[in-house]
Structures are given as C-alpha cells and as structure tokens.
Amino acid sequence: MSLRSDERAMLRDSLRRLLTGTDPEKVALALDEFGWPDLLGADPAEAVPSLFEIQGETVSASPALNAVLAGPLLSSSGAAAEGEIGPVKPGAGDWTVALPGPGTGRPGAAVVYVVTGGAPLGRCLLVTDREGRAALTVADVPADSAFRTRRVEGVDPWLGLVALEAIGESRVEIVAQGPVVAAAWEEAVIAGRRALAHELIGLSRAMLALAVEHARERHQFGQPVGAFQAVKHRLAEAKVALTAAEAAAAEAWADPGALTALLAKLWAGRAARLVGKQAQQVLGGMGFTWEHPFHRHARRALVLDGLLGSTTELQHELGRSLLAGHGDVPRLARL
C-alpha cells in the first residue's frame, strides 16, 4: 500500500493533533484507537516516517518504538518453543526492551519509550549478559515479579525513559530464546535505527525552522540578521546536512538492510548535531533561555543519537563492516 501525497499529509496532520493534544499517559491507547499499530503491520514504510518525524518536530513521546523493535521478534507464525517466536500481535505500548545493567547480568536500562507514569511490564525482550555474551530471551514478566521501573531524568526528562531494575530473585516466564531470537534482534535493530533516523530528521527540521524564523524576524543594523552572509552560510550548511539525512532515510526503505539502516541513523544523528550547532549560533542568546523551545529539541536529539548506536559508534561499526568485507564499498544509491 502506498499513500497519495494528500493522504500522507492528512495522516501526518492527524498524528500531529493526536500527539500534541493527548495526555502523555494516554498516548499509547490513542495510537491503538487511531489504528497506527495496524498501519505499522500493513505498511511500515508509511507508518514509521509519518509518526516518528512528527514526534521529532513536536518533541513528543510515545511507546511506538516498542512496537517497531518487537515486530521482527513476533513475525514468526510458529509455536512458542526453543528458538521460535509465538504469534503475538504487539500493540504500541505492549512491549519493553531492556538492556543489561553494568556488570549485573540482569536487565538494566530500558531504551524505549514508556508512557509517563509507568505501565505494567508485560512482555519484555531481555538482553542479558552471560560470560561477556548477549543472551537474548523473549519473556513474560509476571505482575508479582521482583522488577520495578524507575524514571530516568537525564538530559531529556520529558522523553519518559525508565530503568528496569531487578529486586532480589526475579521471575520471568520464557517465551522464546535461541539463535532465531538472536537473528530477530538484528532485524529489530535495523527497524529501530530506521525509526530513530526519522525522529532525528523531524528534530532537525524543527531546529532549522526555529533558526530560519529567528533570522527573518530579528533585525540588526536595519535589516534581518538572515541577510548577513555568515548567517546564510550556517543555515545553508544545516540544510545540506538535513537533505543528506532525508536521502539516506529514504534509501533505507528503498533498499532495506543493515547497512542502509546504519547509514540512515548515522547521517540523521550527524545532521541533528550539526543543525543544532548552527541553529544555536543563529539564535544566539535566545537559544540558551528556558522559555525558548530550542533546548527541548537539542536535548531530545542528544538522547536519541545515543540509542542503538551513536554517530561515533556507528562510524566505527561501519568501518569494521567494510574491513570485514575486504574494503569493498557498495553502491548505496544511484545519484
């Protein structure tokens, strides 16, 4: 299914109203009622860019990344057995993905959205550390298990990230584990990187729009500051970086794979950092104030750049991948 341009615009306008007009604690339910999880299952190439770019532009948070990451883990129609994944359809807020805590061998910080106020843990993908190796397990976490969630404030307290902490001996009911789950996690990372790339693009667009608006309205020496060559160059550099990120994100859908998803996330993270830097310079002192919205976008970009591989980490991963492939650089897009 491919939407027409007017249908795509209507979809994004509706999602913008949903995200900005819904209580944060009810966003997951609102997305379910809107039908976004169904659209994700039917046409992720439309569902993911539409929602995540609007999230970036409006600095909103939702648990949609849960469903994006969980989707590949639930794609099998086989019975839940060793190395297999049972047929469970995830909702937008039904899943949590937990990473290992430092040196604990137990689930640590959750790297997905959780609606403000917390929610039952439900079904989790537990990424545990056993003898230096990641052991991937899809598990049901009973309501009476010894887990608790703790809000992570950090740079962006509005994002709603939580830490998943084990208290004493924790009980989980294994649903699936083994090599099939490990392979599915690789696909989940690909899907997650594509989604985060679009959210970083939305953030970059919003930061650039704030800078352009300021450059038009702020006057110095009898003319808009946007008329000065130094400001033009900064805005032009930001626009070029954003355009490159948009092209990389589009290519990640045209030619799905680990490499294109990595590059989409890498270029989107790079663009967000560069656009944020140039926008801050153009905004000047205004950009440092609590009242101006710029800091919300900059904070969100810093946090999202670190999820599923920061710009620096992905550059190193790309280098290792190219070396493993004997240095051959594949053609990524026809220019």
In a domain, 143, yes or no: yes
Domain holding 64, by residue range, is: 5-68
Q: What pLDDT score does 330 carry?
A: 63
In a domain, 97, yes or no: yes
Vertex 310 angle, CA 260 and 286, to 5°: 115
Q: Which of 129, 149, 177 is at the close of a domain?
A: 177
In a domain, 333, yes or no: no
Q: What pLDDT score does 125 carry?
A: 56
Rg (CA), the chain: 21
Q: What pLDDT score does 218 carry?
A: 85
Q: What pLDDT score does 51 carry?
A: 96
In a domain, 220, yes or no: yes
Q: Which of 104, 146, 102, 103 is nearest to 121 (CA)?
A: 146
In a domain, 308, yes or no: yes
Q: Each residue's pLDDT tens digit in the chain (335 positions)?
A: 577 888 899 999 999 999 999 988 788 889 989 999 899 988 999 999 999 999 999 999 888 887 888 777 666 433 344 445 444 444 544 555 554 444 444 444 444 444 333 444 555 555 554 444 445 555 555 555 556 666 777 788 888 776 666 665 555 555 556 666 667 778 888 999 999 999 999 999 999 999 999 998 887 888 888 778 899 999 999 999 999 999 999 999 999 999 999 999 999 999 999 999 999 999 988 888 888 999 999 999 998 998 888 899 999 988 888 888 755 666 666 65
Between helix 311-324 and helix 258-283 the angle, nearest 10°, is 150
Q: Answer yes or no: do 120 and 152 share one domain.
A: yes
> What is the number of structural domains in the chain?
3
Q: Answer yes or no: do 129 and 189 share one domain.
A: no
Q: Answer yes or no: do 220 and 128 share one domain.
A: no
Q: Which of 161, 190, 196 is nearest to 271 (CA)?
A: 196
Q: Answer yes or no: do 200 and 295 share one domain.
A: yes
Model pTM greater than 0.85? no
Q: Answer yes or no: do 121 and 133 share one domain.
A: yes
Q: Answer yes or no: do 163 and 278 share one domain.
A: no
Count of residues for the chain?
335
Q: Which of 148, 177, 206 is at the close of a domain?
A: 177
Q: Answer yes or no: do 200 and 287 share one domain.
A: yes
Q: Answer yes or no: do 217 and 303 share one domain.
A: yes
Q: Answer yes or no: do 93 and 187 share one domain.
A: no
* Cβ contacts of 229 within 8 Å, gap of 6 or more: none
Label each residue of 130-196 as H, E or C. ECCEEEEEEEECCCCCCEEEEECCCCCCCCCCEEEEECCCCCCEEEEECHHHHHHHHHHHHHHHHHH
Q: Which of 115, 148, 177 is at the close of a domain?
A: 177
Q: Give dist(CA 91, CA 122) in Å, integer.
A: 11
Q: Answer yes or no: do 41 and 169 share one domain.
A: no
Q: Which of 158, 34, 165, 151 is nearest to 99 (CA)?
A: 165
Q: Answer yes or no: do 227 and 302 share one domain.
A: yes
Residue 284 DSSP symbol? G
- Domain of 285: which CATH number? 1.20.140.10
Q: Answer yes or no: do 205 and 296 share one domain.
A: yes
In a domain, 210, yes or no: yes
Q: How many Cβ atoms are within 10 Å of 278's Cβ, its own excluded?
A: 22
Q: What pLDDT score does 148 carry?
A: 64
In a domain, 334, yes or no: no
Q: What pLDDT score does 205 carry?
A: 97
Q: Which of 166, 64, 55, 62 is nearest to 116 (CA)?
A: 62
In a domain, 241, yes or no: yes
